[in-house]
Structure formats: C-alpha cells, structure tokens
Amino acid sequence: MLDLLLVHPVSANDWISFDIPSLIQNFWSATFDGLTFGAIYGLIAVGYTLVYGVLNLINFAHSEVFIVGAYAVVLVLSALGFGPSVPNLPLSSIILDLVLALILAMLASAATAFVLERVAYRPLRKRNAPRLVFLITAIGASFAIQYTIFLVRGANAEPAVTMFQAQPVFDVFGTIINSQQIIIVIAAVILMILTDQFIRRTRAGRGIRAVAQDPDTATLMGVNKERIIIITFVVGGILAGAAALFYVMLVPSGVQYNGGFVLGVKAFAAAVLGGIGNVRGALLGGLLLGIIGNYGQILLGDSQWTDVVAFVILVLVLLVKPTGILGTSLGRSRA
Amino acid sequence: MLKKKVLTSLAIAAAAGLLMSGCANQGSTGTSTSASKIDIPAITTIQTPANAVLPAGDGKAKCAAGLTLGYIGAETGANAQLGINIYDGVQLALDQHNKANPGCQVGFKKFDTEGDPTKATGPVTQAVNEADIVGVVGLPFSGESKATGNILEQKGLVHITPSATNPGLTTNGWTTFFRGLGNDAVQGPAAAKFVTGKLQAKKVYLVQDDSDYGIGLAATTSKALGSALIGTDKVTTGQKDFSAVISKIINAKPDAVYYSGYYAEGAPFDQQLVTKGYTGTFVAPDGVKDDQFIKLAGNASANAYFTCPCIPGELIPTFESAYKTAFNLEPGTYSIEGYDAATILLSGIDAGKTTRADLLAWVKSYDKDGLSKHYKWDSTGELQAPTVYGYKVENGKIVPIGTIG
C-alpha cells in the first residue's frame, strides 16, 4: 500500500503515478478553479435535469442551447465595442453592457430551447412516439444546430471578447482568488436558489412538479401540460444563457460551433452525479465534477486525466447510489 | 418569472460592481513569476544568398511545349490559406520563368485535396496519370503527404513539400519525396536552444497536446531542454479549461512555457495563463504561428514567441514586391518555400531535364542556393542545413526576429 503512495514528480516511464506533493501544493487553487468551472457545469446541468424530470427525455441538444447563448454573448459584446483587449470603459458601463449581454444570451438560449421543443419534440409527443425516437431526434437536432452555426460563422472560434481585467480579491492559504471566480460562483448559486425557489413556491413550479410526478393525473387536475413543458425548456434555456456569459468570461475565445459538446456531456454527467431530475443535485454534481476532475489531473500528473477521473468517479458513485448523490426525482423533491 | 430574472440580473450587476470596484486599486498582487522581460528586436532584413537561383534563369532556355508543373494540396477547406500562400508562390515563379524565357513555356495545374488525408488520394492519382506533369510542389500537410507518398513514388514523380514537417515522412523509403524546410526533429532542438539561450529562460515548463505533431515535437524539444525542463503537462484537443495546468505552472514559477500543439488550444491556454498572473514568456511552434492566435488570445498574445522552420518571405525585397504586384497581398507563411520549390523544378526543365526520371535525378543531386536558403538533400529527402526562424508578437502582428537554429 505504501508503495502506491511513492512519489514520482515527473515520470515518463510509468503508465500511472501519483504526484501527492503536487496535489497538496495545488490543492486550494484546484478547489477554487474547480468550483468556478463546476458552477458553469451546474447551470447547464439544470436544463438537462428539468427536462429529464418532466419528460424523461435526455435533451442532447441542450449543449447547442448553451452555445447559441455563447454566440449571443460574443456578438452582443463585440457590437458594444468589446474585443480582445481589456475594455477601456467606466465600470458602470461595463456592468450595464454585461447585464445587457446576459439578458440577450438568456433570451437567445431560451428562444432556442423553445423552438427546439416546438419543432423537434412536440410533434413526436402528439404522435405518441416511442422514447428512443425522442433520443434520436435530440441528437439530430443537436447536429442540425451545430452545423447551421458552422455554415453561418465558419470553422474558426470567434475572436476573443475580454469583459474586464480579473482582479485578485483575496488570498486563501496562499492561493489568489480573483473577481471572475467570485462573480461566477456567487451568481451561479444565486441563480440556482432562484430556480429552486421557483420550482418549490410558484404556481408554475408546482405544475412542473406535478407533471414530473404523474403527467396524466396532473392533466386531470387541470395542469396545462404543454404549457408546463414549454416553461421547463425555457427555464433550462435561461440558465444555459447565464452559463454562456460566465463561460465567455472565463474563456473569451471558447465560442466555436462545436464548443458546446464537451461542456454538454460534462453538464449531463453532473446532472446524473447529483441525481437526475433534482435541481439542487445539478449544482452539487457540477461543483463536484469540477473539483474532482481538477484533483484527479493534478494527482495523476497531466490534464489528459481530467475526464477519466471525473467519469470513473461518476460510475463509482452510481454503483453505490444509482439515483445519484441527492437522489429523488423532481416530482418528489422536497415541496 | 420575468420579475425574478430581472432581479437576478440586478443582483449580479450589483455583485459584479462591488467586486470590480472593490479591488480595482489592489494592483496585480497575483503575479508569481519573476522573469525579466527580454526584448529581442524584430528584424527588417534577412540575408539573401547572393547567387540564388531565380526562376527567370538566363532567359535562353529552350524546351518542348506542353511541359507542366503540378501543385497538389489545399485550395479549399479549413486550412486553405496555407495552400493559397504556397501556390501563389509557385504561380509567381512560373510567371517569372515564362516571361523571361519565350523559348520555354511551362504550364501549371492545381489539384485540390482540401488538406484532408482521406480526400487526397483522388487528386494525387489524377495528377500522376497526367503524362505532361513532370514535377510537383506539394503536398503541404503531413497527414496527406503520408497518405499519398506511395502513389507518387510508384509513378516516379518528384515532389517537394514546402511545409510538411513530420519527421516520419522521410522514413518510408520514398525516393521521390523531398522536404523544402526543416522538420520537427530540427525545430525541437532549435526551440530549446532559443528558449534557454536568447530568451534566457532558466526554468521551462513544457505543455503538449495529443496530436502526432504536438507529441513528436514535444519529445525532441524536451530532450534538448535537458535540466532546464522543470515540468510537463499534457492537454487534449478541444480543451478549454486549463486552470489546473496553470495552477501547477504558477507554482513552479517557470521563466518560459513551451506549448507544443496548435493555436486552437494554445490561444485560450496563453490567455488563461496571463489572466492567472503568469508574467513569463509563452513560446510555441509553427502550429500556433497564425494570426488566429492573436485574435483568440487577445492582449495576452503579447508575451508570445514562435519557432518556425519557415523563412519570412516578406523580408526578401525582390520577392515581396513581385508577390505584392502579382497578388495584391503580402507573402504568407510558406509562400517563399513554394516559390523556391518551383524554381528548383523550373531550373531543371531549363537544363533539359524534361522527363520525370531526369527531373528526379536533377533534384536529387541539386546543390544550390534558393532565395530563402541553400538546397541540398540527403538520401532520404531531408535538407542538409535547414534553418529555423524565431518570430514574436509585436503590436498585434507576428514579426520575425531572426534565425534561431
């Protein structure tokens, strides 16, 4: 056992080695960086989790709902004069511009999710198509949106838009935390609390829970199922739009026609890890996935391990608890 | 619902405002590396060989009508610009040759591969079956060269690649393949020497991607770096979040980071490095040396240097002005390599080598200066004395800083 813990800082010969000093040295930065990206996974994961909770459908095209929002952020900010350089604008106008970009990104993503539901899923539902057909349609819709963007915007990533200079804010155990990280994590948590409250307290939220629990009975009780489904897609879209703004804040040049795919897979995994159908689980799953991936890659020595570690942990968790960490479906979530 | 979202936006705005203003005057206490900035000035001229062979020759060449040179490579596709840079160089050489030599008019045919190894077989087969083609400039990329070298070999058609750098290409036993520039086994050691020498980096961190190109180049570079190499990491194609890699780099405090890969990952990587307070230099090979890098990395790109086995054609005045007149553009990366390759084939035709076999023998024993460098190949088709140039980013443009190996 002790042999396993032997330290190989940089080893070219061993297939696998554990670099524990490096993990200790980078522990806090790995944690905070993981939380930051994890918050973005979590926001996207809500879209998967809500739709799954209500329709038992894995909406594979949700990654494209996200990337449309990211394009909206880039296009709006470039139109407002943002570019690769740090903008030379007063703080108040930067904030105004970012809020405008946020709202437009939310609108763009929500609209995409709405159209997707209307065009790709609703006609199938009317015809009582089998579950598999929905899944295939979702994959098809994902490709259709991706390559439409490819045809319009081309293969290259969009030029960078830098929103503001990340400033160091405070120092935790020798690790600098910057303003970007704080903004992203706090905003994501606020958005998640609002979403959770929306589902728990509002009339529409009650409808979502009712349809998730038993669509037929909900309809009998006077819930407009079609309306609830639309609301579900739109809420997922709005959060994806918010995630898009934070993503561009972290990765100013990350907007590319196929750029949503990997994030989408990670976010879906986050939803499953936290317990699919569970909004709180989505955030928890996202944060955990972000942190675990970071610890794993530092422990194992290179970044190519990130996904291996993240997905092995996912499988292990599901083996122990098949419903995910927080379990429970949307219908039975604490009302 | 809508009200809630508006509230949310306001909350975010308020939080953002507090954060950004609250810390605006703290300065950059997050810097953790202490490399002093080395400034290597851009060069504005390069040494051109005095007796360089030019396409025009002596103007008295006589040859049969109908002889043709081919270009096989990308004309369309994602990486088309590289192909266009090259065949414009070839076109210029041909125009100058045909204008100066009324007695020898050589034709030009282009075959489009889209730069894609899976699509290259068709155009290459078509080219080798056209009997009037005696020599080829191409193929530009390593992947397509690997896929089609056998076809050209079987038909004995000599071809000079102006840009494919994978070292493995000359280990296939092909006798018709010639590389008109240094390969990555040359670039790696040159890069290592540049980083530890001219850039005076004592500690270098090397990050590679998962492509054949990135892995191969990283292997030769890290070997040459020796004890200056203090750490390595590996990233994947399409990766966008480099935070864990960067945290390790910041802790290791290197003077330079060498990124062995392409610009699509190199640019966000460099940008995130700088955002996290890295103040050393960022060095990358020809796969990153592209204007796209500057577009994607933004201001962060100011810390970047490049190594490239390509010669800055824009600094050869006669070539630059002729190219600009002909195409209304500055010469691009690899334009001069295309021009020189065509010149070698044309000078063979002028010397009466008008069959494929004769022209192949001509290239094999070639030992003369071109505009960009001296051309003499070893038995495998590698140049005997290739040059590697350094480049840097200055005012949002990539400019050459001289030879580095």
Q: Kindly indicate whether the domain formed by B185-308 is annotated with CATH number 3.30.499.10.
A: no
CB contact under 8 A, A297 and B244: yes
The arithmetic mean of pLDDT across residues A269-279, rounded, is 89
- DSSP state, residue B383: B
CB contact under 8 A, B247 and A253: no
pLDDT of residue A333: 47
The Cα–Cα gap between B169 and A228 comes to 60
Paired tokens of A67: 């990337």
Which residues, 6+ apart, have CB-to-CB distance to A16 below 8 Å? A300
pLDDT of residue B33: 40
pLDDT of residue B115: 81
The Cα–Cα gap between B272 and B270 comes to 5
Which phi and psi (to 5°) does residue A144 adopt? -60, -45
Contact list, B21 vs chain A (CB under 8 Å): 91
Q: Is B95 helix (H, G, I), strand (E, B) or coil?
A: helix
The arithmetic mean of pLDDT across residues A215-233, rounded, is 91
The Cα–Cα gap between B305 and B258 comes to 9
Q: Report strand pairing: B389-394 vs B304-308.
A: antiparallel
CB contact under 8 A, B298 and A84: yes
Contact list, B299 vs chain A (CB under 8 Å): 84-86, 162
Neighbouring C-beta atoms of residue A21, cutoff 10 Å: 10
pLDDT of residue A14: 65
pLDDT of residue A9: 45
Residue-range domain boundaries for chain A: 26-165+172-320
pLDDT of residue B174: 95
B77 vs A: CB within 8 A? no
pLDDT of residue B221: 93
Burial of A232 (0-12, 13-18, 19+ CB in 10 A): buried
Neighbouring C-beta atoms of residue A173, cutoff 10 Å: 8
Contact list, A253 vs chain B (CB under 8 Å): 267-268, 271, 295-298
pLDDT of residue A7: 42
CB contact under 8 A, B24 and A167: yes
The Cα–Cα gap between A304 and A300 comes to 9
- Say which amino acid occupies B310: C
The Cα–Cα gap between B400 and B314 comes to 10
Of the candidates A151, A154, A171, A189, the one whose C-alpha atom is nearest the C-alpha of residue A279 is: A189
Complex ipTM: 0.83
A329 pLDDT tier (thresholds 50, 70, 90): low
Span A26-165+172-320: which CATH code? 1.10.3470
Burial of A257 (0-12, 13-18, 19+ CB in 10 A): buried
Residue pair B204/B258 in contact by the 8 Å Cβ criterion: yes
B49 vs A: CB within 8 A? no
Paired tokens of A231: 């609301």
Closest Cβ opposite residue B295 in set A33, A159, A263 = A159
CB contact under 8 A, A102 and B210: no
Span B68-182+312-386: which CATH code? 3.40.50.2300
% residues pLDDT > 70 (chain A): 93
Fold match flag (B68-182+312-386 vs B185-308): yes
Q: Give how far Cα B308 sits from Cα of B189, B290, B374, B394, Å.
A: 12, 11, 17, 17
Which residues, 6+ apart, have CB-to-CB distance to B212 below 8 Å? B142, B166
Residue of A48 and A173 predicted with greater confidence: A48
Nearest chain A residue (CA) to B4: A194
CB contact under 8 A, B16 and A98: yes
Place of tokens 């070639």: B366
Cis before B206? omega within 30:
no
- Each residue's pLDDT tens digit, A303-312: 888 888 888 8
Contact list, A25 vs chain B (CB under 8 Å): 251
B45 vs A: CB within 8 A? no
Place of tokens 């076109």: B91
CB contact under 8 A, A302 and B234: yes
CB contact under 8 A, A298 and B244: yes
- Each residue's pLDDT tens digit, A41-78: 999 999 999 999 888 888 999 999 999 999 999 999 99
- Each residue's pLDDT tens digit, A65-122: 999 999 999 999 999 888 887 777 888 888 999 999 999 999 999 999 999 999 999 9
Question: How many Å lie between the alpha carbon of B46 and the closest alpha carbon of chain A?
Answer: 32
pLDDT of residue A328: 63
The arithmetic mean of pLDDT across residues A171-186, rounded, is 88
Mutate to test the interface with B, among A67, A179, A186 (most CBs of B within 10 A): A179
Residue-range domain boundaries for chain B: 68-182+312-386, 185-308
A253 pLDDT tier (thresholds 50, 70, 90): confident
Q: Rounded to 5 degrees, what angle do the CA atoms B335, B340, B345 make?
A: 130
Residue pair A84/B293 in contact by the 8 Å Cβ criterion: no
Closest Cβ opposite residue B23 in set A92, A167, A302 = A167
A130: left (phi over 0), alpha (psi -120 to 50) or beta: beta
Residue pair B234/B219 in contact by the 8 Å Cβ criterion: no
Contact list, B232 vs chain A (CB under 8 Å): 10, 302
A331 pLDDT tier (thresholds 50, 70, 90): low
CB contact under 8 A, B30 and A168: yes
Closest Cβ opposite residue A198 in set B4, B264, B277 = B4
- Say which amino acid occupies B315: L
pLDDT averaged per 10 residues in sequence order, chain B, 405 residues: 50 50 38 54 83 90 92 80 89 96 94 88 95 94 90 96 89 94 90 92 92 85 92 88 90 93 89 90 90 86 92 90 93 91 96 95 94 92 88 90 85
Residue of A192 and B81 predicted with greater confidence: A192
